[in-house]
Structure 1
Amino acid sequence: MQCAYCQQDRKLIDAHIIPRPFHPEADGAEAVILAGPDNLAYPRRAPVGVYDQHILCAECDAKLGELDQHAVECLLRGACHSFVHQGQARGKTYDTADADTILRFIVAVAWRASIARHEMFERVTSEKYESEMLQVLKSGDLLNFDAVIAEFDENTVGFLNPHQSRFDGVRFMVIYAGRFVFYLKLDKRQMPFSFRTHSLRISGVVRTVVRDYSRSKEFNVMRMIFEQPHLARMRKKWALGPKRKKEL
Structure 2
Amino acid sequence: MALRASRWDWLNADVSWAAFDPIAYIDHNYLYLQAGDAEILSLIRDHFSGHCPRDRGRSIAGIDVGAGANLYPALAMLPWCDEIALFERSPANVRYLKSQVKSYADNWDQFWRVLCKNEAYGALDMDPRARFRGVVHVEEGNLFDLMLHQGRWSMGTMFFVAESMTSSREEFDLGVECFLRALAPGAPFAAAFMEHSHGYQTGDHSFPACDVGMFEVELSLKRFADDVKTERIESQTRVRDGYFAMIVAYGRRNSDGDIPQSDRDR
Q: Specify if TM > 0.5.
A: no
Under a length normalisation based on structure 1, what TM-score does the superposition of the two structures give? 0.24
